[in-house]
Structures are given as C-alpha cells and as structure tokens.
Amino acid sequence: MPDFYDFALANSRLPELRQTLLSLRALKSEVATLRDRIVELNTPQAVAGAVGSTSGAPARSEVDAETQRLRMRMQGLVDQMIATVAEIDSWHIQLREIESGLVDFPALVAGRPVWLCWRLGEDEVAWWHEVSTGFDGRQRMEDLV
C-alpha cells in the first residue's frame, strides 16, 4: 500500500472501499439494534415482570439467556467491525466517520502533507483539506495549489 495517494490512486480504491464502508455501516446498525433490545429486555419494568409475573411474561432466566445470546452476537459483530476497520487502516486510509462513510487519504502536494477527502455518496475523490483542518475546510480538487 502506498504511503501517499494521488487523486487517481484514491479513486481506484473506491469500489472496494465503498463496499467495505457499506458493510461497516450495516454492522454498526445491527450492533445498535441489539443494544436497544438488550436495554429493552432489562428495563426495570421488564425485569419486575419477569420476576413476579405469571401473565405470560418471560421468566427471569429466559431474559438472562436471551440477554447473553444477544451480547454474544453483539461481540461477534464488534469483532467484525474491528477487522473491517483494520482492513481500511491497512490501506493507509483514515476512517473519520462510519455513518457518513467519511475517509481521508494521505497525500503530498509540493512536499506538504494534505488529506484527500471522500465520503459515501460522492462519485469520486474530488476534495482535499489541510492536515490541520477537517471536513469543514474541504476544498475542490481544482483549488489545490
């Protein structure tokens, strides 16, 4: 993998990167869904119902078993997320935000380091910003001097 990208090299990486980021975003969403279900199962009202109810509410042991199963599934998803982020990192690409798929590619322009900036939904890498600025400092490729 290169230490630095130019626009052509960054754009050539996009098909694989796009799929990787979409997968990462789906994993994150599934983790959030599992987290919400665990919280729902373990609210004080649900726990109280599980302990003393004969009204068809699941028994506490069933709630505990389901919670454990969900936690194990969540850990598996988190492990997949870690591996996916490590893959992006191995390409020397900086993941900035999962939800929007925001990434930066390290580049050199006239010997100075800059970031080539891209996010999901954009057709190509056409933006850059100084290392000291973030997304709000993005400029069009044509403005790079």
- pLDDT at residue 138 tops 80: yes
Span 106-136, pLDDT tens digits: 999 888 999 999 999 999 999 999 999 989 9
What global pTM score does this model have? 0.84
Enumerate the β-bridge partners of residue 113: 108
Q: What is the 3-state secondary structure (H, E, C) of the chain?
A: CCCCCCHHHHHHHHHHHHHHHHHHHHHHHHHHHHHHHHHHHCCHHHHHHHHHCCCCCCCHHHHHHHHHHHHHHHHHHHHHHHHHHHHHHHCCCEEEECCCCEEEEEEEECCEEEEEEECCCCCCCCEEEECCCCHHHCEEHHHCC
Span 61-74, pLDDT tens digits: 899 999 999 999 99
